[in-house]
Structures are given as C-alpha cells and as structure tokens.
Amino acid sequence: MGIDDDYTDRHAGRPAAGQRSAGGRGRGVAVLAAMATVVLGLTAGCGQRAGAEGTSAQPTTAAATPDGAGLVPWVSALVARNGTAVTVYTGPGDAKCSELYEPRATVTEQDGAQVVVAVRGRVIESVDCAASGSAVPLVVSLRAPLGDRALRDAATGTPHPVYHERDLPDLTADRRWSPYESHWMSTDEGWHRGYNGPNGSGLLLSAQPTAAVSRPEAVATVRIGSRDGGVTGQEGRWWTLWWEAGEVTYSLRLMPREGGSFTLAEFERELARLKWS
C-alpha cells in the first residue's frame, strides 16, 4: 500500500477520542496480532548457505520441524540504532482468517556480504477473523552491526525493504512523546509507529519503498539533521514531513488534538525540537 498525503493513521491504531490510560495519556489500540518478540543468537544449519560470499542466498527447503513449523516469508525489517538488533515483520500473508502460531526467527547466516534470517511457524485458522492478518514483529541479534550488508529472507532467498532507526528522529530522547502499540497488515511492506504527545496531540512515523510513495508538491522545505525534508499539508488538517534515505521514503505526520490545529510555523518549531541524526 502506497503512502500519500491523504494517508491517515489507520495502520497505527491511534487511540480513540477520550480513551485514556491510568496515567492520563491516550492509549493506542491493542495490537491485533500476537506481538511475539524473540531475541535469538546466531544459529546454524537452518537454511542452505550461499555458495560464495556476495552471492544471493538460495531459498531454503520449507521442511517442517518436529513441531510442524515450516519456513514463513517475512516482508520487511527495521534495524535498531545499534545496528545489531533487527526486527523482521512476518504474518500469515494473503491467507484469509489466519494467524501465525508460535513464530520464531533465527539468523542462519552472517558473513561480510549478507545476513540471512529465517522465520518458522505454522499458519493456523484464527479464532477471530476480524483480528487476523496483522504483521508480527520478531527480533534477532547479530554479532556485528548490519552496516551495508544485504539482509535476505531464508524462505525466498531475496532481500525485502529494510528501514533504519538511524534515519528517524530519536523520540526516546524526548519524554513528551510516548509510543503505543501499532499494527498493520502483514502484506504491507511499510513500517509504522504511533506516539501520544502533549495536549492530546499525536505523531505517526512511517516508512515505505520510495517507488510506492505518492505525495503532492511540498509547500516548504526544512533542514532536519544532515538532510532536507519537504512539508506537505494544510491549515486545519495536519502537516507531514517527508525525507528520503537510499531507496526509502520516511514520513512524520503531526496530528493535533481532536478539534485542534497546527500552523505551519508551529509544525516547523516542533520539528526543530526533535533529535535528528
């Protein structure tokens, strides 16, 4: 699904109006899929290795393990700021009313040219079709930062979109913003994360392959860290900042409290308060 300027926060599960946590802050809608987080070290023998350094990984035979779990493709990945923690996003794919049962991720190969990640699990019938199909994040740990190495899927032997926290503002350094659980469909190659902010405001970070993005002409250009970003939007709705890194387009949308609004100058001041690389 492409991102454009009418792209709302439908993926991020923004809290409903008036919904509050015990601490008085808005709460994000609970993740619809089982948010299994598995941190595993290097393992060997789970997949067929590439024949030579720098060549593409060959698809691993999807043989089931004793518990019936077979290889499942993952769709996209997010690399943490430290470069060694990698979250891959997987799910039941196009299978209707289905979910992944006990998915787990392992690193099957890592050398100077590439890292191969395998996801295993069973696609089963969901007990709640309305809550099925969401992307499931699984975390693996690398021996060294990913750097410029290719990140490949053991199930297909191909790379998928890879996003980097280093290209995003560091909102952990700003206590005004609190992340909430976000969800999107497992067939979506994008990545999304929502935040609750001061005075009922909200912020949505998204990433998508640039080829899938459509956006209107920018109304302003701002400097963010070491790069320039373009601003789209209009008074009375919301403002969105767009920037590119490699073949990826990132966006940051600032949403006012219900019934409120931000001027362009207020949006630019908020951007200046964030910590950019």
Express each pLDDT in 154-211 by its tens digit.
Answer: 999 999 999 999 999 999 989 999 999 888 999 999 999 999 999 999 999 999 999 9
Q: Which residue has the higher pLDDT, 178 or 68?
A: 178
Closest CA to 73 of 44, 103, 45, 53: 103
Binned at pLDDT 50, 70 and 90, residue 33 comes out as very low
Asked whether the CA dihedral 69, 71, 74, 78 is positive or negative, the reply is: positive
Lowest mean pLDDT among 46-50, 123-127, 219-223, 269-273: 46-50
pLDDT (mean) for 82-88? 98
CATH fit for domain 168-273, picks 2.60.60, 2.60.40, 3.40.1000, 3.30.70: 3.40.1000
- Strand-pair category, 227-233 with 239-245: antiparallel
pLDDT of the residue at 41:
29
pLDDT (mean) for 73-98? 95
Mean pLDDT taken over the chain: 80
Q: Where are the domains of the chain?
A: 70-165, 168-273
| Residue 244 scores a pLDDT above 90 | yes
| Residue 52 scores a pLDDT above 50 | no
d(CA 147, CA 32): 32
Decide: pTM greater than 0.75.
yes
pLDDT (mean) for 243-266? 94
Closest CA to 239 of 269, 267, 214: 267
Q: Which two tokens stand for residue 56?
A: 């593409």
Lowest mean pLDDT among 4-8, 54-58, 120-124, 172-176: 54-58
